[in-house]
């Protein structure tokens, strides 16, 4: 007697997978010297721009100092030179590590235990630090690039102040936020605040 098809026990099919083999993974491509320097410059410029933004916000909003691009350019130059000095120190430290690593073979015992196999990577890091230090000093000596950096910092500062004003409006509005047309009216209220309240604040600070 044959059992009906619907009564037969279904056998679940399983998919066989191979065990993970890390040796089958492609070798990561090492960054070039140019890529390393470019990445370092991007990070340094971002850090400098954020520092300039903070100086602008504190000086103009908290202390009421008139906005002076030249003053903030001096601050940006000082920070760029400080970052360049740090890269110079790093290059010297890496050079010492490279000299020690070239005399050692075998496997490393911890992440900072460099051996002969790490020599190429250490040379890349050393050369990148030297090139980056030179590029940072060149930017710190360029008035045009400093003022462009300050201008981006000024825009960042204005964006931050604008978001703070919007947050203050949202908190002050209270029940107004529940209205269906709240989002539509918010830009107009923000403009009114800028034209009226900020103008009055400037008049109180400057006397005209």
Q: Quick one: average pLDDT of 45-53?
A: 94
State the pLDDT at residue 34: 94
Q: List Cα–Cα distances, 33 to 92, 126, 136, 137, in angstroms.
A: 17, 10, 16, 18
Q: Mean pLDDT: which of 4-18, 46-60, 173-187 is highest?
A: 46-60
User: What pLDDT score does 2 carry?
Assistant: 58
Residue 208, pLDDT score:
45
pLDDT for the residue numbered 188: 63
Q: State the Cα–Cα distance between residues 125 and 135, nearest whole angstrom.
A: 15
Q: For residues 87 and 109, give the distance between their C-alpha atoms in angstroms, rounded to a whole number.
A: 27
pLDDT value of position 185: 63
Instruction: Quote the pLDDT of residue 180.
Output: 54
Residue 202 has pLDDT above 60, yes or no: no
For the stretch 128-131, contacts whose Cβ atoms lie closer than 8 Å and that sit 24 or more positions apart, written own/partner, are: 128/33, 128/36, 128/37, 128/40, 129/87, 129/88, 129/90, 129/91, 129/94, 130/87, 130/88, 130/91, 131/33, 131/37
Q: Which of 12-26, 36-50, 102-116, 132-146 has the lowest mean pLDDT?
A: 12-26
The residue to which tokens 């070798």 are assigned: 27
The number of angstroms, rounded, from the C-alpha of 17 to the middle of its chain's C-alpha atoms is 41
What is the Cα–Cα distance from 80 to 137, expressed in whole angstroms?
7
Of the pLDDT bands very low, low, confident and very high (cuts 50, 70, 90), residue 69 is very high
Q: In whole angstroms, what is the distance from residue 6 CA to residue 148 CA?
A: 77
User: Given a cut of 90, is residue 97 above it in pLDDT?
Assistant: yes
In percent, how much of the chain has pLDDT > 90?
46
Predicted local distance difference test score (pLDDT) of residue 104: 80
Count CB neighbours of 142 within 10 A.
Answer: 14
pTM for this prediction: 0.67
Q: Each residue of 51-64: b (16+ CB within 10 Å) or e? A: bbbebbbebbeeee
- Output the pLDDT for position 47: 94
Out of 6-15, 145-154, 170-179, give the one with best mean pLDDT: 145-154
Rounded (10°) CA dihedral 131, 136, 138, 144: 140
């Amino acid at each position: 007697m044959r059992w009906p098809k619907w009564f037969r026990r279904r056998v679940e099919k399983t998919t066989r997978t191979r065990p993970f083999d890390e040796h089958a993974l492609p070798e990561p491509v090492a960054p070039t010297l140019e890529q390393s320097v470019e990445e370092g410059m991007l990070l340094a410029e971002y850090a400098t721009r954020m520092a300039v933004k903070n100086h602008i916000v504190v000086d103009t909003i908290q202390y009421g100092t008139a906005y002076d691009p030249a003053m903030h350019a001096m601050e940006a130059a000082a920070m760029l030179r400080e970052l360049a000095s740090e890269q110079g120190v790093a290059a010297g430290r890496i050079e010492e590590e490279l000299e020690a690593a070239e005399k050692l073979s075998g496997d490393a015992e911890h992440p900072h235990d460099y051996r002969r196999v790490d020599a190429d990577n250490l040379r890349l890091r050393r050369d990148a630090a030297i090139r980056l230090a030179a590029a940072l000093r060149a930017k710190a000596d360029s008035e045009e690039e400093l003022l462009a950096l300050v201008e981006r910092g000024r825009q960042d500062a204005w964006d931050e102040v604008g978001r703070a004003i919007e947050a203050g409006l949202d908190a002050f509005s209270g029940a107004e936020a529940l209205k269906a047309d709240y989002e539509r009216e918010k830009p107009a209220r923000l403009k009114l605040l800028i034209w009226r309240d900020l103008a009055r604040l400037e008049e109180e600070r400057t006397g005209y």
